[in-house]
Amino acid sequence: MKLLNFAQALADNAYFAENVGKYLSKELSHITPKNTPFISYGGSYAGAKSAFLQAAYPDVYYGSIASSGVIWAGERFWEYYEPQRIHGNRTCIRVIETVADRIDQLAKVGGKPWTDLKTLFGVETLEDKDAANTISYPVSSWQSKNWDTSLPGEDSWDTFCANITTDVQLHKENVKTLTPYETTQGIRNYAAYMRGYIEDNCLSGGSTVKQCYDTGNPANYSNIALANDGSQDNRCWSWEVCQEFGYFQSAAPDNHPTLISRLIDVPYLKRICSLYFDLPPDHKIDTAKVLKYGGFNLTGPRLAYVDGTYDPWLYATAHSPYSPQRHENSEKSMLIDVSWHHNDENGLGDISKEPARIQKVHHQEIDLVGKWVKEFHQGNN
Q: Examine the residue annotation and report whether 140 is marked as an active-site residue of this protein.
A: no
Task: Using alpha carbons, list the distances in angstroms from residue 146 to 90, 133, 342.
Answer: 19, 25, 9
Helix extents (H) in 57-184: 82-87, 90-109, 111-121, 128-135, 156-164
Please give the Cα distance from 291 to 72 (Å, whole number): 6
Q: Taking the chain, what is the end-to-end CA distance rounded to the nearest angstrom?
A: 44
67 counts as catalytic:
no
Active-site hit among 101, 130, 311, 344: 311
Amino acid at the residue 112: K
Q: Cα 349–353–359 angle (5° rounding)?
A: 85
Set 40, 44, 136, 261: catalytic member: 44
Stated as kind and residue range, the H or E segment containing 366 is helix 356-379
Alpha carbons within 13 A on the beta-carbon side of 281: 4
User: Could you tell me how far CA 1 lies from the centroid of its own chain?
Assistant: 22
Query: What is the C-alpha separation between 93 and 85, in angstroms, rounded?
Result: 6
Residues assigned a catalytic role: 44, 311
